[in-house]
Structure 1
């Protein structure tokens, strides 16, 4: 069956779902301006929600559509090229046919559109160059919405409408106003703001102020900053105009925008925190996440690479008019559009680690990115390129990357899974100072700590230490000043397959009592008690070589005595468990994958190294110590799988590879062994010992 025949058959199946008005409208499309397949495709939209996205529509390959004069094919070509610009890593086979799906509500902002399968973010939607009445919009919600043109100057009325619509309809998006200043900003004496109406700096303790918080990339631009010397002068009305030429363009545009929106106050770090007063600066940095959380909305300047990139569209002459629609057939106009995440992913702003928690913590964000403007709250998205329908339904944005996080952190029923997802995203980003790895996530960690009712230890929830230790990564590098047991102790992208939502991932049995031991090694504090109802007939406590009362020592941790006499800058994790010596034979040096071999010479496990280890470069097997953390019925995701013939018949143990330095164990890899391997250790076999893990 040809592509056209397949499309015609699909359309025939769907014809009963089309209303008579819709069929009449689509029948006027002139097939002479479209190729045969596209003329059929454009008759398909208009399905009911029940079958939206259920039927695939076929289009020719990229090689074909690059040379055709068909208007719809050219639009798909434009979508592909724009996607490649935004995501250069995308790989496409130019000879493969494209497949499209029509969705009623899945596009950004809850819109309808064609999804091009194989592309990550591009959508094709309908537009109308004619003036559309409010009544027409109400009856045609989501279908005809792309504007004909994007004007050079931002439509302030539209932006105000977004904010007002959210304020009136989404109460959960608004910052709380029922707490005192000290409850909102602990330790902060005053909150400094730029008063854009009086053109000066103000210091205010009230918690009811509506202010906008600016988040932007400094770059190499030397910002105008608040100092002890200019503080008093900046608090005089009209002073900002006197130093206007010294202020970076992005901050100038932010001041103009806030003023035009009819608001009064703007928070900018370099002007509202005293840069040459360490005490004042640290007080502000300690509550910076709260400043963004409490803002009326956050203004994200994600254009360009420094503080002079500005906010395109705020002032005339800063961006050009953009044509958004193509007339593909008489009376039928379509355009390509993307949600904010597609543009954010290719921005310098999005690569910075500290910007991550701005997304997570801010209840509402106005984005300026790639010469476009988007507004995102916890319940909807608004796009500058789209008409605003009066009855646009509240829509979830969980399907789109970064901007889903506020909903995830505030309303998730699976905080451990959400936290692990966020850390995976966070560890992809770039740190200016490696020592800021925990600082830049402090606000997120504090909120999850409150959600879980559990403190964090070096960025790991204390209530889930055993699972959190099973993170995986490839080609990682140790980060100085942080422990190897934490994701914070490694540079590189980390994944957390073991910290999953309920009903997913690993089902673990854990037995460990976890103690936190200060870097001095003097005292150990119990932070998480293991379950007391362990089945002592388990292979764990009956394995060959273990004393009969091994489990009785679970509660006792003496800490460690440093052989070097030096203290560490971070706490250790101390615990009792089983240790075993197995050989490691690396079979994939690029990914650090290795097989674990017992004393009988048979493979009994698999692992992934955190970083190359001396002795693992050769093809020969070398012995290393492994520490058991938990048992489960499945292998560890992220590590290489065992061959079917080698899989454990009684389940698995999840282990970490450790090396010892000065009486302290350091993690160097993670993996899975078959339960039977417990009797196949080299040397003294499996032993019960105290581990001080750093």
Structure 2
């Protein structure tokens, strides 16, 4: 469909106020030389040819010069767009320059494309190496105001927005367009993982706020409802309890002063938005869950939050720091951010467009684990951030400050097919987020666990895919981590801080290929203890024809059904757990998808190596931000460095740890592109290494993970003291 064939939904442009310009405004000589005019913001037919190199980058001046020239409207606009007073004058003793480059926006179906001015700061005018302190805004761009467009259509140009409030008439238009032109595909979350789409069938206690009768109600069958995604923060939040639920279910109860005066501002604003947009029902956790019913309705809802959000019609995303912050631009709340517009000349105004992530990435909302899952599952989002509102659905995206035909933005794409890389990227993002209660570490990820289980055919054992267990244990810290005592150390859920696993990048994202690789490169038969105080064990994953689940000897297959390989010069036939009792072992919070204690019991090779300051140089990866971790070397009996580890600073600083002799266990074969030192030799062995885990022993007969690294296969013989031994391990 071409642009001319698409039905147009015209939103009138606001008039430009006279207060935008000042009589003293005058372009400086440098900005005059840029020859800016409205027509320069339309891509010409010649410029639209593929072979065109675009327009060269241009120097606007140093930050110091731009700050001094307060009468130049373009320089003022540039400085405000980059962050105003937060833009540094110098970096490393060098003056900071502001550069502009031209970029285009638009699609082949449009009658035209537009040019945007993209801004960046640098200390080297000859390169695009950017200066980007955290205080500066990222990727701001400057575009022609829609009112001054030289074309009949204003599509893709920014428009003025109301200074006093969010335009909910515009939001209603977006919703109507989505319903009319996108239809059912936008009514269901692409990440849905339930057989039944109705939370009222899966959650017997499912309640909603009736914004017309102003009370809490049992959810009517097949009703459409909004959900609210927000941060409670450190403020009192009025809650539905066993003692007040009957009262709150009476019509008009939410208007009674004893209740209304206690309901946080953000929730009151969401109720009003729902009503103003013509919908009747809203789900908010604090009011729709009986908060002191820990083992009943609360447990039911928390375990299925993905169902609640994925079945809702739309989620209101309020990015304020707490529940009392309100929703920007709604119900007399200020927008919080002012639109940046400058008049360059008669009928020639430019607008600074600031991507929403400039405001989202600095918000408390974006750091919360629960809100990550909520955003992931909702079919439609209405996001209030940076003083504006945006709408997104499965087939489109619209911004309040952009003239855009929502239909034009409807570019249906086939649903993404998740793979192992997408799973580990989700883990990486989620593990960096914060929780008010560590005990929620599995609950706040439960929906994503269910989604990946359904799509990739695996269960998760404390966040680790059982079907790809060995390589899924090879996560490493991406930055500083703190031990989370409520979960096992071998899982990323047992640590607070970002974890990442790179094995899909060096092997494959395809589950079938990974499974085949594990058959050839692993040997451990993994068992999960049923309870920390019970010796009974279950095999972690038994959905294969391997004889590893039996006690017969010798075993014919490994954990994944592959042929047994004789890697080690010792008797490795013992793989079945012995009956052992743990003393003083902790109890971990329950897993969501698979029962068990969180203690693994298995046999593998144990070695002792010396840990000391590394002798090798470190080639830092651009992906590596582990600056708060300590790097140490692994040394064998000939004194040679065999590999390196990144360990927690607290562990590093304990007496006797570095230098010191410690126990390591072999996990599997893999390729290590991060910790292998430059001067390590492979002893003629291929690039596959042995992954080792440094463990810390506890008096009760169990160990915890400290860190993982790698050694060359031939370096097993470098083990100190009694050398390598086949040993039973209980890992918690």
Point out the structure with the larger helix share.
1
Distance 1:656 1:643 in 2: 20
Q: Is the 8 A contact 1:112 1:125 kept in 2?
A: no
Equivalent residue number for residue 236 of structure 1:
250
Equivalent residue number for residue 199 of structure 1:
214
**Are 1:685 and 2:697 an aligned pair?**
no
Three-state SS of the structure 2 residue aligned to 1:285 is: helix
Q: Is the 8 A contact 2:356 2:386 kept in 1?
A: no
Quote the offset at 1:357 in angstroms.
0.8
Q: 1:328 aligns with which of 315, 335, 344?
A: 344
Quote the offset at 1:299 in angstroms.
0.7
Distance 2:490 2:85 in 1: 39
- 1:53-84 deviation per Cα after TM superposition (whole angstroms, max 9, x unaligned): 96651323333333345543333222221695
Q: 2:31 aligns with which of 28, 35, 58?
A: 35
TM-score (norm 1): 0.80
Quote the offset at 1:488 in angstroms.
1.2
Quote the offset at 1:254 in angstroms.
1.3
Quote the offset at 1:294 in angstroms.
0.8
Q: Is the 8 A contact 2:372 2:430 kept in 1?
A: yes
Equivalent residue number for residue 13 of structure 2:
none
Q: 2:522 aligns with which of 510, 525, 531?
A: 510
Equivalent residue number for residue 656 of structure 1:
693
Q: Is the 8 A contact 1:31 1:39 kept in 2?
A: no
**Are 1:222 and 2:236 an aligned pair?**
yes
Q: Is the 8 A contact 1:103 1:115 kept in 2?
A: no
Distance 1:182 1:32 in 2: 61
Query: Equivalences for 1:471-620 in 2 at 5 Å?
Result: 471-473=475-477, 474-500=479-505, 503=508, 509-518=521-530, 519-528=532-541, 530-534=559-563, 536=565, 541-543=566-568, 545-547=569-571, 550=572, 552-553=573-574, 556-558=575-577, 561-564=580-583, 568-569=587-588, 570-587=597-614, 590-613=628-651
Three-state SS of the structure 2 residue aligned to 1:386 is: coil
Task: Count residues in correspondence.
Answer: 627
Distance 1:656 1:347 in 2: 36
In 2 relative to 1, CA 665–298 (structure 1 residues): closer, same or farther, beyond 3 Å?
same
Distance 1:517 1:627 in 2: 19
Distance 1:591 1:233 in 2: 53
Unaligned runs of 5+ in 2: 1-25, 108-112, 121-129, 542-557, 589-596, 619-626
Quote the offset at 1:616 in angstroms.
6.9
- 1:115-168 deviation per Cα after TM superposition (whole angstroms, max 9, x unaligned): 3343673332423363879x933xx642xx211343312211211122223333
Three-state SS of the structure 1 residue aligned to 2:223 is: coil
**Are 1:289 and 2:306 an aligned pair?**
yes
Quote the offset at 1:295 in angstroms.
0.8
In 2 relative to 1, CA 601–365 (structure 1 residues): closer, same or farther, beyond 3 Å?
same
Distance 2:436 2:194 in 1: 35
Quote the offset at 1:446 in angstroms.
1.6
Three-state SS of the structure 2 residue aligned to 1:150 is: coil
Q: Is the 8 A contact 1:560 1:663 kept in 2?
A: no
Q: Is the 8 A contact 1:657 1:669 kept in 2?
A: yes
- 1:301-353 deviation per Cα after TM superposition (whole angstroms, max 9, x unaligned): 112x3222112322246448944422234544322222332211111222222
Distance 2:337 2:356 in 1: 19
Q: 2:441 aligns with which of 426, 437, 443?
A: 437
In 2 relative to 1, CA 230–215 (structure 1 residues): closer, same or farther, beyond 3 Å?
same
In 2 relative to 1, CA 617–383 (structure 1 residues): closer, same or farther, beyond 3 Å?
farther
Q: Is the 8 A contact 2:117 2:143 kept in 1?
A: no
Q: Is the 8 A contact 2:603 2:728 kept in 1?
A: yes
In 2 relative to 1, CA 254–590 (structure 1 residues): closer, same or farther, beyond 3 Å?
closer
Q: Is the 8 A contact 2:316 2:382 kept in 1?
A: yes
Query: Equivalences for 1:8-157 in 2 at 5 Å?
Result: 35=31, 38-39=34-35, 43=40, 46=43, 47-48=47-48, 50=50, 56-59=56-59, 60-68=61-69, 70-81=72-83, 94-96=95-97, 98=99, 100-104=101-105, 113-117=116-120, 118=130, 121-128=138-145, 130=147, 136-137=152-153, 141-142=155-156, 145-157=157-169
Three-state SS of the structure 2 residue aligned to 1:692 is: strand
Q: Is the 8 A contact 2:177 2:407 kept in 1?
A: no
Distance 1:111 1:185 in 2: 48
- 1:411-443 deviation per Cα after TM superposition (whole angstroms, max 9, x unaligned): 443432222222222222222112221222112
Quote the offset at 1:94 in angstroms.
4.2
Q: Is the 8 A contact 2:224 2:313 kept in 1?
A: yes
Q: Is the 8 A contact 1:435 1:481 kept in 2?
A: yes
Q: Is the 8 A contact 1:302 1:347 kept in 2?
A: yes
Distance 2:397 2:362 in 1: 19
Three-state SS of the structure 2 residue aligned to 1:606 is: strand
Q: Is the 8 A contact 2:27 2:72 kept in 1?
A: no
Quote the offset at 1:534 in angstroms.
4.9
Distance 2:49 2:308 in 1: 41
Quote the offset at 1:203 in angstroms.
1.1
Equivalent residue number for residue 161 of structure 1:
173
